[in-house]
Amino acid sequence: MRKGALLSSVGCGVLLIFPHARAKPTIEGGYQTAIVVGVKKHVSASNYAGDNPSDAPLGSRDGYSYDIEIRLNCNVYVGRYQSATRYLPSLFATNHEVDIRLHKHILYVSLPFSDEEVMMGIVAHRRMKDEVCLAHA
């Protein structure tokens, strides 16, 4: 009987804590429509500092990386897409609309015609400085 009372008091304590949690901003909630503004193949820099380049360790052949620039309103996020093959989804084409959601340092891109999404780490972010964005700042 004591065990049941302990569990119910812990449950009530949890219920008292959750109503005080903040709702996340809209930008981190659902999907928003954005535009792909650039796609570049990412090449890892070598950290070899020796005299003879032939002594350098072999580069990683584990996969392929692309830096995908996506504009959402006045912000451009650069997400790193990584693949084991050379395949790059066709939705990552310049001027193509994509549905994205942001969560901390991760960019999620919804794949059309499925319930799946691509997860990319955000490696850079910049604010646009065109006339429209400066007017809203």
Range 109-112 contact pairs with CB under 8 angstroms and sequence separation of 24 or more: 109/70, 109/79, 110/31
Q: What is the mean pLDDT of each run of 10 residues along the chain (137 residues)?
A: 53 40 45 95 70 59 85 95 88 95 94 89 92 70
* CB of 60 closer than 8 Å to CB of 44: yes
Burial 78-91 (b: 16+ CB within 10 A, else e): bbebeeeeeeebeb
pLDDT for 132 equals: 74
75 CB burial (10 A radius; 0-12, 13-18, 19+): middle
* CB of 34 closer than 8 Å to CB of 72: yes
pTM of the model: 0.66
Q: Provide CB contacts within 8 A for 90, sequence distance 6+.
A: 96
Domain chopping of the chain, boundaries:
31-43+61-137
pLDDT for 42 equals: 85
